[in-house]
Amino acid sequence: MRALLGVELPGYRPVADDAWANEHDDVLSLHFFALPPDLPAALDDGPALRNALTHHTAGAGGGLIEASVKRMGELPALRQILKLPLPDRPSGQAFIGSFTVPRAGCSTVVKIQALEQGMTGMREAVVLAKVGPQDYFRPHPYAPDVQGGLPFHVADHARWDAEFPDHPLTRVRRTLDALAQAVSVAPDFAALPPFAGPTAHG
């Protein structure tokens, strides 16, 4: 099922079925899962949802940068941005942004992935020098007790995007904003029973 319409953003070329890339080799992709969503909480239970997602991402070796519930067309969607270490490289990160639109028995996800290339860590170094080490690392706002994974720090905040317009995290946020404006939901998908949380499907 093609649940989302309008995903083919300007500046992206087709590279596979339901996958596109831009001049930076950022990859935009659309997915459909014919299974009940594996989200840990209902979308209207924000604290529990964000806390569980933070622990899950840390357990996978990454870090959750932000998570919120937004509108994708006429339906509520989980908007996430996370970071993961690049495999087989001593430094560098992948930044992944997504909208997950869940229904009771299935879900659709549109995802943007951007990788650090060349010299890495410049954004972090500049922000660290500006704010000082005492204000750089922070407890995670969604789960202060989280252990492992990539650390939460202020350089990932959107306030720094304007200073680093070509950074992959900035590009991910820019693409998510464009998707929120461009994408609509297919009527057949919108008509499916809504997702009410994990207890609804056991």
Query: pLDDT tens digit string along 100-145?
Result: 999 999 999 999 999 998 888 999 999 999 999 999 999 999 999 9
Single pTM value for the model = 0.95
Residue 136: CB atoms within 10 A of its CB come to: 16
Cβ(187)–Cβ(90) under 8 Å?
Answer: no
Question: Quick one: average pLDDT of 155-164?
Answer: 98
**Is the CB of residue 2 less than 8 Å from the CB of residue 172?**
no
Measured torsion, CA atoms of residues 19, 68, 48, 40, in degrees rounded to the nearest 10: -20
Mean pLDDT of 23-44: 97
Average predicted confidence (pLDDT) for the chain: 95
Over the range 40-63, which residues count as b (16 or more CB within 10 Å of their CB) and which as e? bbbbeeeeebbbbbbbbbbeeebb
Return the residue matching tokens 């087709």.
14
In this predicted structure, what is the pLDDT of residue 151? 95
- Give the single-character DSSP code of 187: H
What tokens does 126 get?
């500049």
